[in-house]
Amino acid sequence: MTLPAIPPHAKADILAQALPYIRKFHGKTMVIKYGGNAMTDPTLQRAFAEDVVLLKLVGINPVVVHGGGPQIETALKRLGKEGHFIQGMRVTDAETMEVVEWVLAGEVQQDIVGLINQAGGKAVGLTGRDGAMIRAKKLKMLDQQNPSLEHDVGQVGDIVAIDPSVVKALQDDAFIPVVSPIGFGEENESYNINADVVASRLATTLHAEKLLLLTNIPGVLNKAGQLLPTLTARQIDELVADGTISGGMLPKIAGAIDAAKAGVHAVHIVDGRVPHAMLLEILTDQAYGTMICNH
């Protein structure tokens, strides 16, 4: 994307502002959860791919973890299969799991790999099966009202362990890993795992400098609807307690806090609807989302 009508000295100022950040993050790993509008709008797709390639070129190691809920829903409808959810979690029977695998590891992953390669990078697609990366077990889902009752949501997985050696090998060889959130169990069965959870756990395992979660909202907002540019774990607990953070934001925030507490230096919830928001968040002083710090 070109920068229209910006005078050369202003462009130089922008580049000079980025220099301390490039120096600070050189050689560091950043895990990026890619989803929402950024994943479906062609202009935002190109901007995302360019950002990832630029990060790699300046010596930062991006690792992309992607979702694909809407694409899975479209594929199931095409097959005449109705999606069924319990407490917001997709019930994944054997047939649905097949669809999940070919949509995530086939269609969605390869689209992202192609976009990054087209932008000048060298992306490689992985699932949790590759290099025995994500070991999983069946998720136990307890009823929110009655915790003694357990719901069977099929082949939905809970992460047992992550072996990041295949990701590290690719990074060392100048490749950009693109990970589909699919794990495998003891009997070689496949599991569908929440992409935010995979991104958070992978960031922790890789000792990532940052975890970036691209979303369809500006970030975490206060009760007056204003963006909160920085938050600590303690402040988040207060916002959850008073109901400021609720609904679909809760699991995202829970993963972000876990990653921050486990040593990821900063977690950013970034507005994926803004072109190049990820790059602006990492390489400038301007906030394009909410940063959660590990203290």
| pLDDT at res. 265 | 87
Strand order in the sheet with 61-66: 123-127, 176-180, 61-66, 29-34, 210-215, 266-271, 289-293, 230-232
Range of the domain at 206: 25-293
> Does the pLDDT at position 2 exceed 60?
no
Q: Where would I find the H helices in the chain?
A: 8-25, 37-40, 42-57, 69-78, 94-101, 109-118, 165-172, 195-205, 233-241, 249-261, 277-283
- 91 burial via Cβ count (<10 Å: 0-12, 13-18, 19+): middle
> Does the pLDDT at position 128 exceed 60?
yes
pLDDT classification of 215: cutoffs 50, 70, 90: confident
Q: Is residue 3 part of a domain?
A: no
| pLDDT at res. 255 | 80
Distance CA 260, CA 241 (A): 19
- 110 burial via Cβ count (<10 Å: 0-12, 13-18, 19+): middle
Q: Is residue 6 part of a domain?
A: no
Please list the residues that pair with 165 across neighbouring strands.
Answer: none
Q: Does 69 carry a binding-site annotation?
A: yes
Q: What is the mean pLDDT of residues 227-253?
A: 81
- pTM of the full predicted structure? 0.91
> Does the pLDDT at position 213 exceed 70?
yes
> Higher pLDDT residue, 257 or 101?
101
> Does the pLDDT at position 146 exceed 90?
no
Q: Is residue 130 part of a domain?
A: yes
Q: How far is CA 130 from CA 12, 69, 125, 289, in A?
A: 43, 22, 9, 32
Number of domains into which the chain is organized: 1
- 99 burial via Cβ count (<10 Å: 0-12, 13-18, 19+): buried
Q: Is residue 84 part of a domain?
A: yes
Chain-centroid distance of CA 196 in Å reads: 5
> Higher pLDDT residue, 238 or 190?
190
Please list the residues that pair with 159 across neighbouring strands.
Answer: 136
The model's pLDDT over 154-182, given as tens digits with 9 standing for 90+, comes to 999 999 999 999 999 998 889 999 999 99
Residue 104's CB is within 10 A of a number of other CB atoms, namely 24
> Does the pLDDT at position 11 exceed 60?
yes
pLDDT classification of 1: cutoffs 50, 70, 90: very low
Q: What is the mean pLDDT of residues 239-255?
A: 78
Q: Is residue 13 part of a domain?
A: no
Q: Is residue 19 part of a domain?
A: no
| pLDDT at res. 3 | 45
Distance CA 6, CA 14 (A): 10
Q: Does 90 carry a binding-site annotation?
A: yes
Q: Does 273 carry a binding-site annotation?
A: no
Q: What is the mean pLDDT of residues 110-125?
A: 97
Torsional class of 36: left (φ above 0), alpha (ψ -120 to 50), beta (otherwise): left
Q: Does 68 carry a binding-site annotation?
A: yes
Q: What is the mean pLDDT of residues 113-139?
A: 96
The model's pLDDT over 40-71, given as tens digits with 9 standing for 90+, comes to 889 999 999 999 999 999 999 999 999 988 89
Of all residues in the chain, the percent with pLDDT exceeding 90 is 52
CATH number of domain containing 158 = 3.40.1160.10
Q: Is residue 164 part of a domain?
A: yes
Residue 81 token pair: 């299969």
Distance CA 207, CA 294 (A): 13
Q: Is residue 151 part of a domain?
A: yes
Q: How far is CA 141 from CA 134, 148, 225, 263, in A?
A: 20, 10, 32, 27
Assess contact for 171 and 152: CB atoms under 8 A.
Answer: no
> Does the pLDDT at position 4 exceed 70?
no
Pair type for strands 176-180 and 61-66: parallel
